[in-house]
Amino acid sequence: MGYGPKRLKMMMSEPPGEPIATKSDDASAQRCGVVAIVGRPNVGKSTLLNALVGQKISITSAKAQTTRHRITGIRTVAHTQFVFVDTPGFQTRHSTALNRSLNKTVLGVISDVDLVLFVVEAGAFTLGDAKVLSLLKPGIPALLIANKLDNIHRRADVAPWLKTMAERHPFAEFVPMSAKNAKDVERLFGICDKYLPTQPWWYGADELTDRSEKFLASETVREKLFRFTGDELPYTSTVIIDKFEEEPSPKHGRMMKIAATIVVERDTHKAMVIGEGGERLKRIGTEARQEMEKLMDAKVFLELWVKVRSGWADDEARVRSFGYE
């Protein structure tokens, strides 16, 4: 049985901090708008998106180039529907076909939104940050999200740094926060609300993303691949889904049969992914399967393969055929 794209809806429980039964059905009172989350790699954009949505829909890792697509996360709070768009970290180092595609995604997003969350690490401003800042469009309000505030030990240092940031760009507001602090994240809804136009919602009140379960499945495998392999691999690997089928199961309710291929550049990378006696590939598969089962509320059978396609990240046609823009 084939399986088409399906929007992931809120499952099991409401995200933490949801106001009690105040969602409005009266379209004339509704607000709805797009909030782009942009910044250099690794500043915590996807961590913030997941916290805002209340469920993990965008993969995160301590390595750069984690996010490779625009990922929409939806959250409806009282009268307002926030359509957050997570973007890849803007790449300034190497110009490969993959990096060009990642940057194209960022540029496409920031020109047509209601509000921009420009994410940096509190207290820092690098050349990579400056490059992204130069892309912001006049006329679209931008908030400075000074993230990872928990890493700053001397809070007194933050005020002078914020002052220098105010000189760099006419930010509408400054928000020192930590994406890992639930209170900070909840406060952000109140701050963003006023920038969104009055218009009917685009999605149902309980929808969380416009990404399909199939896409989230491939991202889950990629995240585990990042987690269990060395530094070199992430830049040159990708995951494609070969099979994604739902079968009725009297025992489990819902049962998914998924097969995925991890594509790497070299034989040595393949050996790295498989690990001694297949141990690493097994761990990647087990963790990915467990996370998919939670996400899809289903029993999942996952088959993983590893293939070598040298030079794929620098081959425009192949980058496109693997689903990048």
Task: Specify the stretch interacting with Mg ion by CB under 5 A; choose among 39-47, 113-121, 187-195, 222-230.
Answer: 39-47
Backbone angles phi, psi at 87, to 5 degrees: -125, 160
Cα 68 to Cα 237: distance, rounded to the nearest angstrom: 12
Q: How far is the CB of 61 from Mg ion (least distance, A)?
A: 8
- Give residue 319's identity as a one-letter amino acid code: V
Pick from 111, 151, 286, 321 the residue near ligand GTP by CB under 6 A.
151
Residue 150 binds what, of Mg ion, ligand GTP, none (CB under 5 to 8 Å, by partner type)?
Answer: ligand GTP
Residue 147 in the binding site for ligand GTP (CB under 6 A):
yes
Query: Judged by CB under 6 A, which of 30, 46, 72, 81 binds ligand GTP?
Result: 46
Q: In this structure, what token pair is assigned to residue 15?
A: 């995200």
* β-pair type (142-147, 173-176): parallel
Among 178, 218, 237, 261, binds ligand GTP (CB under 6 A): 178
Q: How many residues bind ligand GTP (CB under 6 A)?
A: 24
Interface region with ligand GTP, contact rule CB under 6 A, candidates 54-62, 75-83, 297-305, 314-322: 54-62
Binding at 178: pick from ligand GTP, Mg ion, none (beta carbon under 5-8 Å per type): ligand GTP
Q: What whole-number distance in Å separates Cα of residue 32 and Cα of residue 60?
A: 26
CA–CA dist 59, 219 (Å, integer): 7
Out of 31, 35, 36, 46, which residue is the one contacting Mg ion (CB under 5 A)? Answer: 46
For residue 179, state whether it binds ligand GTP (rule: CB under 6 A): yes
Choose the one of Mg ion, ligand GTP, none that binds residue 211, judging by a C-beta under 5 to 8 angstroms depending on kind. none
Pair of tokens at residue 206: 């309980």
Distance CA 227, CA 284 (A): 8
Tell me whether strands 253-264 and 299-308 are parallel, antiparallel or unpaired. Answer: parallel
178 touches Mg ion (CB under 5 A): no
CB of 249 to ligand GTP, least distance (A): 34
Q: And the tokens for 188? A: 């952000």
Query: Pick from 14, 112, 150, 303: which binds ligand GTP (CB under 6 A)?
Result: 150
How far apart (Å, rounded) are the C-alpha atoms in residues 170 and 256?
49
CB within 8 Å of 70: residues ≥ 6 apart: 85, 86, 87, 105, 108, 109
Per CB under 6 A, contacts with ligand GTP among 78-117 are 88-89
Q: Is 134 exposed, middle or buried (0-12, 13-18, 19+ CB in 10 A)?
A: exposed
Name the site residues for ligand GTP (rule: CB under 6 A): 39, 41-47, 60-62, 64-67, 88-89, 147-148, 150-151, 178-180
Name the site residues for Mg ion (rule: CB under 5 A): 45-46, 66-67
